[in-house]
Amino acid sequence: MRVGSVASRPMARPSFRSPKGTRDILPGEAERQRALVNTFADSARKAGFGHVITPMFEELGVFKRLGESTDVVTKEMYDFVAKDNNRYALRPELTASVVRAFVQHRPQIPWKVWYEGPQFRYERPQAGRYRQFSQIGVEALGTDDPSLDADVIALGWNFYSQLGLNEVTLMVNSLGDPTCRPAYLEALTRYFETRRSQLSEQSQHTLLVNPLRVLDSKREQDQSIIDEAPVMVDHLSDETAEHFGGVRRLLDRMEIPYEISPRLVRGLDYYTRTTFEFASHALEGSQNAVGGGGRYDSLASDLGGPDTPGIGFALGVDRILLACDAEGVFDAPSSLVDVFLIDVTGGDEAAMISQALMVSGIACDRAYDARSMRAQFRAADKSGAAFAVIIGEDEVENGQATIRSLRGDDREQTTVATHLLTEELHKRLSTT
Ligand code: AMP
């Protein structure tokens, strides 16, 4: 091959796409996501939770506490060695980061915080399962009062109803605590050992590391064995049973319907006592979890802090919106402007008026590139604005602008002095 012929060939245009398992969320859907987060933020704030923002990456060790036998740690972590030679990971969830922040800053307890943001897990992408997805959630540290468990669960439950979702169910369980869990783990291990050869290869391996995790297997082959396995709720100590009873009693009194789901173990290892999950029946079975959480009474001390009980939940924003689609609720908010400026004198006048209107709090838009009057009117109609402000040669000469109504049959128009325009528009907008 002649070298020269390579140099003269036109370079192929690059065609980049978002990485596998990630999505661009475009205007419309992104506004809907923002509205959902705002709704959640508002409820969390009203329930006494402050906003917390932690880094999107942490030292890998922070996430190792999620459990050496969990998929999140063994297979899905986006970890890397940075230029400082430290090993970090993009956060796969937020509880560990928030508890790390609690340990670092030692705020006054009870410490009640809410959060939102993207999480990263190297999962097999499919509908409702992404490698970057968004969560909203709360964490409350400093007390193990069952009343807090009920309040946290109620906050999640109320949020789904606030969105208009009717097909969400709540499952609760108790995973015991360090006083009663070892005896249960022994009973569970004994049971699985007798059926080891019938378990999937993966579950046989999991059994060696953490028998509890076998209960979380979704593999068909394991299901009948899991169905007959001993359950934690039958092995709770008196104290833990009483705690769980307290949570249930309060949920009953709050009239929050729930099912006891004795095999619910959740995907992370730090949970103790109360655990819960919200599922949407409007979504496909394997991807129907729209949120979940539980107590993690030893996580703060595991991360080097004082012994501090805690409880929280994380809700999956992407999946909740899929559930909203399926139930036909929580539409994207309309992002309409109030006023559209039509300037047939070149555009400078519109630029100045637009600046004044926006400073005064009126949402407005305009066309660019000195488009024709017709084209600008078409754009004004498409914008959904309530009023057009028309700026022609006559208006500029007389220091005026014309306001024209864009809604309804009566497209009446009035000409006003430019210095009175903002006031006049505010007056009209307050009555539309
Ligand atoms: P987890 O942190 O695993 O308890 O997950 C809490 C919620 O986050 C789940 O109930 C899902 O709604 C959502 N979620 C978890 N993993 C993903 C994912 N890969 N893609 C989309 N949503 C997810």
The reply to whether ligand 1 has any atom less than 6 angstroms from the CB of 243 is: no
Per-domain residue ranges of the chain? 29-180+236-327, 339-430
Please identify, by atom number, the ligand 1 atom nearest to the C-alpha of residue 267.
3
Per-residue pLDDT, 131: 98
Q: Look up residue 406 and give its two tokens.
A: 């864009």
CB contact at 8 A, 190 and 179 = no
335 or 4: which carries more pLDDT confidence?
Answer: 335
Type of residue numbered 278:
F
pLDDT(180) > 80: yes
Contacts for 400-403: CB closer than 8 Å, 24+ residues apart: 401/353, 403/428
- Residue ranges with strand state E in 175-309: 259-260, 272-280, 289-295
CATH number for the segment(s) 29-180+236-327: 3.30.930.10
Per-residue pLDDT, 336: 81
The reply to whether ligand 1 has any atom less than 6 angstroms from the CB of 135 is: yes
Please identify, by atom number, the ligand 1 atom nearest to the C-alpha of residue 293.
4
pTM over 0.85: yes
User: How close is the Cα of 384 to the center of ligand 1, in Å?
Assistant: 36
Cα 212–Cα 315–Cα 33 angle in degrees, nearest 5: 155
CB contact at 8 A, 304 and 281 = no
CB contact at 8 A, 278 and 289 = yes
Cα 272–Cα 275–Cα 276 angle in degrees, nearest 5: 170
User: Three-state secondary structure along 417-428?
Assistant: EHHHHHHHHHHH
Tokens 């987060």 map to which residue? Answer: 37
Class of domain 339-430: alpha beta
Once rounded to an integer, what is the mean pLDDT over residues 350-377? 96
Once rounded to an integer, what is the mean pLDDT over residues 208-212? 88
Cα 355–Cα 357–Cα 359 angle in degrees, nearest 5: 70
356 or 409: which carries more pLDDT confidence?
Answer: 356
The fraction of the chain above a pLDDT of 70, given in percent, is 98
Once rounded to an integer, what is the mean pLDDT over residues 312-328? 98
Q: If you take atom 2 of ligand 1, which residue's CA is the nearest one? A: 93
The reply to whether ligand 1 has any atom less than 6 angstroms from the CB of 338 is: no
Task: Read off the pLDDT band of 7 (50, 70, 90).
Answer: low
pLDDT in tens, 103-147: 999 999 999 999 999 999 999 999 999 999 999 999 999 999 999
Q: If you take atom 16 of ligand 1, which residue's CA is the nearest one? A: 129
The reply to whether ligand 1 has any atom less than 6 angstroms from the CB of 317 is: no
The reply to whether ligand 1 has any atom less than 6 angstroms from the CB of 292 is: yes
User: How close is the Cα of 403 to the center of ligand 1, in Å?
Assistant: 50
The reply to whether ligand 1 has any atom less than 6 angstroms from the CB of 91 is: no
CB contact at 8 A, 319 and 290 = yes
User: How close is the Cα of 369 to the center of ligand 1, in Å?
Assistant: 46
Per-residue pLDDT, 267: 74
Q: If you take atom 13 of ligand 1, which residue's CA is the nearest one? A: 316
Q: If you take atom 11 of ligand 1, which residue's CA is the nearest one? A: 316
